[in-house]
Structure 1
Amino acid sequence: MALVPTPVVNEGQLFAEVEMGGDSSSSTVRATVVQASTIFYDTPATLDKAERLLAEAASYGAQLVVFPEAFIGGYPRGLTFGVSIGNRTDKGKEEFRKYHASAIDVPGPEVDRLAAMAGKYKVYLVMGVIERDGYTLYCTVLFFDSQGHYLGKHRKIMPTALERIIWGFGDGSTVPVYDTPVGKIGAAICWENRMPLLRTAMYAKGQRCAC
């Protein structure tokens, strides 16, 4: 099977061509890797934006669409949330309150909407989100099939550097690889791609390309 790019435009998409097996008779999978920004502190608007981008990718024949880390909920680049050792500012607390409110519950209504999108546009969807579990936030990837079913999630196991101030740690219970008609799908988030044991575990499950 060959993974080939789609010519999607919009906010500047990134594409890569990866051979999935050397057999010339193998099937071809058309995939889109989306590079686009979150609408920060506005999850409903971000979901609307995700659907527009998903529809565009599907119009070019994409079968697999992958969104960035933390697309739903946002990656808080440059924010400190007013944190220093032994102290937090009132402004920082309010920023974190808004960030926490922008995260999503898994399962929850936003997950249901993402599943419906995947089914509507008949694509396998891999979506980066900020997951809310009580008072703890996780950097999470959600997986959906082309029939509109939520498959499961991967929580980032080791948040990088100061990410640990705001995100909880995942564990080995959420390192899935899904066997689908478009190939075996899993995800390693950001620095996890440089964690040899995590990648080894995923390779052992048959995954050959990390999202």
Structure 2
Amino acid sequence: MAPVRVAAVQVGSVAFDLAASIGKLEDYVATAAQGGAKLVVFPEAYLSAYPRFLSFEIGRRTDENRHWYKQYVWSSMKVPDGAEGFDWLSTEAGSESAGREFESFRKLCQIAKKHNVFLSVGIVERSIVGATLFCSNILIDSNGVLLSKHRKLMPTAAERVVWGTSSATNQPAFLGTDHKPTDNLPVVWCPSLGFRIGGNICWENYCPLQRYALYRKGVSLYLAPTADARPTWLPSMQHIAMEGRTFVVSANQFQKASDFPEDYPARVAAGGKDEVWSRGGSCVVSPLGEVLAGPLWDEEGIIYADIDSDDILGAKLDMDCAGAGHYAREDVFKFDIRT
């Protein structure tokens, strides 16, 4: 295969404003496409906010808590059940006059198709029924078709207050429909890119069995959208790239207090100072742990790398941790995913 240009977009949300965040996303997608990118990767929870410093007390809820959770739900987005592999744009359900519930999802499909890119976006996803929120990542192909959706299995620490947990499959909202459960640990073959694409969100990448599940599914382009701006993140990405013998693309937000509404509690507490809440650190890493692009710190921007799927096989000369009948050592270990 010819090398493919990938782009990691380090950009902050217009927090709690879904339409404005999508508008900003399209501007960056257009720039990345003009720069030759065929895959454009956005950070964790880009649509429409990583709820940084939003606090709730155990055993006590206030009117302010409920106000901000309501704002969060309003600015989240819904993804249709069973949309994977379905041409949503060409159906009546996806038309301008129908499917208003999924208007934001439809807009993302249009953006990917318009700019002829594969689009990976971290979203705050609202359940079809009720107001449960999930930290999810979706991958849309250059025809505007959803290839995969992954909901964070276990939100980290206090994230669990506002985000729900998920399981190995995404169940349809309504029993008895034609929709079937979909894989929540997906790795999808993208022939035009020459890669099997999968990934984990933020600190899911510190869960060894969850990483291994993707290795066993043959991931060769591993996406790691994050909200972690610590200097320890880059060596973690290098470790994963070398462990899985996979390319890794990690995108984070460069986020400031001014990205949030003026009455957002943490911004009020900042007393008018435009503090940096996330420095970024987006990067692209080769299967041998070489940093191909980044890390990018302290600014919004796009980093690019040209990657070649043919490099994967050579990288496995000395290590193939999930190779069935070989490095996997199935005579010693047993691995299974409950579905």
User: Could you state the TM-score of these two structures normalised by the residue count of structure 1?
Assistant: 0.85
Structure 1 partner of 2:189: 179
Structure 2 partner of 1:93: 66
Q: Is the 8 A contact 2:196 2:219 kept in 1?
A: yes
Correspondence for 2:111 among 117, 137, 141: 117
1:193 aligns with 2:205: yes
CA distance in 1, matches of 2:204, 2:119: 20
- Aligned-residue offset at 1:150: 1.5
Structure 1 partner of 2:20: 45
State the percentage of identical aligned residues: 42
CA distance in 1, matches of 2:163, 2:21: 20
SS for the counterpart of 1:30 is: strand
- Aligned-residue offset at 1:163: 0.2
Q: Is the 8 A contact 1:32 1:57 kept in 2?
A: yes
CA distance in 2, matches of 1:85, 1:36: 32
- Aligned-residue offset at 1:208: 2.9
Gaps of 5+ in 2: 81-101, 170-183, 224-339
Structure 2 partner of 1:127: 121
Structure 1 partner of 2:220: 208
- Aligned-residue offset at 1:151: 1.7
SS for the counterpart of 1:76 is: coil
SS for the counterpart of 1:128 is: strand
1:116-165 deviation line (CA, Å, top 9, x unaligned): 11111111110000000022100000110011112230000010000000
Q: Is the 8 A contact 1:126 1:142 kept in 2?
A: yes
Q: Rg bigger for which structure?
A: 2
CA distance in 2, matches of 1:115, 1:131: 15
Gaps of 5+ in 1: 1-25
CA distance in 2, matches of 1:139, 1:85: 21
- Aligned-residue offset at 1:209: 3.6
Q: Is the 8 A contact 1:111 1:150 kept in 2?
A: no
Structure 2 partner of 1:164: 160
SS for the counterpart of 2:199 is: coil
CA distance in 2, matches of 1:144, 1:209: 15
Aligned residues: 184
SS for the counterpart of 2:44 is: coil
CA distance in 2, matches of 1:127, 1:86: 34
Q: Is the 8 A contact 1:177 1:207 kept in 2?
A: yes
1:51-70 deviation line (CA, Å, top 9, x unaligned): 00000000001000000000
1:66-104 deviation line (CA, Å, top 9, x unaligned): 000000021011111xx2122111111101110111110
Structure 2 partner of 1:55: 30
